[in-house]
């Protein structure tokens, strides 16, 4: 069992961390959430084969929302600025795109991240975020429009360079 959890940790720690970061915008909070998610995995019983990544993403989304709703989070200001996150980005164009995605509102940022960076379908994202498939599709479209506008405002002639 411990070897299986170790393998899951190695395979999905970055995905869990980045999803938590997309919700919280805080490296420290994302690290705490990542730790909590994998501790819950230790106590989870009977996870269905092939559904472990979805389970991890679901628990990460839930833990992130719980943190954002907490009294402490709502009433205490952050002393730290958002740190630059080291991600496997191939070019400065990828880095700029990720920065623009992270600047979006949470509801748009999360669906874009899950759809493009993690490869989840709109139905899977709907389950993970406790939304309808229609809401996810609408958020994706609005997020693409906002991202296109922000990229063009950042000096790119067209957002087609990014595939939008």
User: The pTM is what?
Assistant: 0.55
Q: Per the domain annotation, does 82 fall within a domain? A: no
Sign of the C-alpha dihedral, residues 153, 154, 157, 161? negative
Query: How many CB atoms within 10 Å of residue 98?
Result: 17
Please tell me the predicted confidence (pLDDT) of residue 46. Answer: 75
Domain CATH number, residue 140: 1.10.10.10
Q: Per the domain annotation, does 48 fall within a domain? A: yes
Q: What is the pLDDT of residues 10-68, one digit of tens each?
A: 999 999 999 999 998 888 899 999 999 999 988 887 777 778 889 999 999 999 999 88
Q: Which of 47, 76, 105 is the last residue of a domain?
A: 76
Q: What is the pLDDT of residues 89-112, one digit of tens each?
A: 455 566 777 778 888 888 898 898
């Amino acid at each position: 069992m411990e070897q299986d959890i170790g393998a899951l940790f190695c395979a999905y720690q970055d995905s869990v961390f980045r999803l938590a970061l997309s919700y919280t915008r805080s490296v420290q909070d994302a690290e705490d959430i990542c730790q909590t998610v994998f501790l819950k995995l230790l106590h989870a019983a009977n996870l269905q084969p092939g559904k472990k990544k979805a389970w991890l993403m679901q628990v990460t989304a839930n833990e992130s929302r719980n943190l954002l709703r907490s009294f402490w989070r709502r009433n205490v200001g952050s002393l730290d600025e958002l740190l630059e996150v080291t991600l496997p980005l191939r070019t400065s164009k990828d880095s700029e795109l990720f920065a623009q995605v992270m600047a979006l509102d949470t509801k748009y940022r999360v669906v874009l991240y899950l759809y493009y960076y993690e490869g989840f379908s709109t139905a899977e994202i709907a389950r993970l975020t406790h939304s309808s498939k229609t809401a996810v599709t609408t958020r994706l479209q609005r997020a693409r429009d906002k991202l296109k506008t922000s990229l063009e405002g950042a000096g790119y002639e067209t957002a087609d360079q990014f595939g939008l």
